[in-house]
Structure 1
Amino acid sequence: MRNLWGRRGHARVDYVTAPVLYLLARRARLSPVPRRWADIFVGLILLAVTTTRTSLGLVRVVPFRWHGRLELASVAAQLALPWLAGFSGERRARHFFLGFATYNFLVWRATDWSAEE
């Protein structure tokens, strides 16, 4: 897969992803536990994008490559979360998080993590 965007493009994607994830979690009618986890990821995405060294970061303290490493770790967490948090039996919630992890991996893969500002 070819890199589609660099720092600024990835930040834009993150700024769009957070509110969309929030809305999708409600639209999917997730039960309280998975919905709470979705909200946690919304907060983590916003924390990451606002603190990363990009032109769209508000407090630019996190190196862009670290952001990428943390994002990849979050993909692993999203994949395991239905089983770790005890909602793997909820088909809708399980598929929601597996889909979110897939989306997040594709965003990670499409980003040029060595891109200059």
Structure 2
Amino acid sequence: MNNKKEINLQIGNEIRIARERAGLTQQQFGELVSLGTKNVSAIERGISGITVSTLKRICEKLSISSDTILFGDKELNDVAYIAEKLERLPPEQFQAVSDFLNHIFKMVAHMEK
């Protein structure tokens, strides 16, 4: 029973970290993954576990790997974290982000002149 509690704490903490990295409140995150705010809070505190289908929704909506939730991303630096998120985007979303970044890079290049 204690192992189950520990795993819930670890997973809940990783979900909180991923949610905060995405810049989402618990309410916004809950709406995104079809959970109530109280459920999100309970999961993040390790009081409640999550189902595989909830894990899948979280990973899809945050564009992260389930390994990140299950094992953390301690070995990833910020560039690797962003690259992982980009790899998981559907093609049309990836193209939109790519276009946006290219626009930013052009702006920065013009600022340097």
Higher relative contact order (CA 8 A, sep 6+): 1
Indicate the structure (1 or 2) with the bigger Cα radius of gyration: 2
TM-score normalised by L of structure 2: 0.34
TM-score normalised by L of structure 1: 0.33
Give the structure with the larger helix fraction: 2
